[in-house]
Amino acid sequence: MAKYRKLSRTSAQRKALLKNQVTALIANGKIVTTEAKAKEVRKIAEGLIALAVKEKDNYEMVTVSAKVPERDKDGKRVKEVVDGKKVTKYTTVEKEIKKDLPSRLHARRQMLKTLVPVVEVPESNKGKKKNTKEVDLVAKLFDEYAPKYEGRNGGYTRIVKIGLRKGDAAMEVLLELV
């Protein structure tokens, strides 16, 4: 018996399809697809969520200081004259950040191998590049999904059969996070 479904595609096409569908599932919480694809996507998605649950608390808080340029009311940098030259005025800011321990960093990189970048476009700027932002799906896995599924031993997804697709009569299903 085979370890995976080939889905009538070459290996590159199949890997791209599965990466895109896993990314869509994690970004949106549910997708509609065929039954065979859903079963393959489910394997990958559950592995990612299990990895996030395992490594969710594996970090340390570190205080860092950074030089930040001062800005005026218009948002422009404040300049001061030093030795006859205009120099930007900086302020030192202390900030506390999460620093991943080695195993969590490895988990983060494993997740990034599977997930593709997602760009979120605000409703007001449809079709424009302005004000778009990239969604950090790895952070979403660690911060949102891992605490939600912490006490659960697998079974993070559900497959609900919708019915046959009109064009080719393939069984369509709704794959959603529980």
| Residue 1: per-residue pLDDT | 61
| Residue 22: per-residue pLDDT | 98
pLDDT tens-digit readout, 1-39: 678 999 999 999 999 999 999 999 999 999 999 999 999
CA 2 to chain centre: 30
pLDDT score of 170 more than 70: yes
29 secondary structure, DSSP code: S
**Domains defined for the chain, CATH in brackets:** 11-58+101-177 (3.90.1030.10), 59-100 (no CATH)
DSSP 92-158: EEEEEEEEE-HHHHHHHHHHHHHPPPEEE--GGGTT--TT-EEE-HHHHIIIIIHHHTTT--S--EE
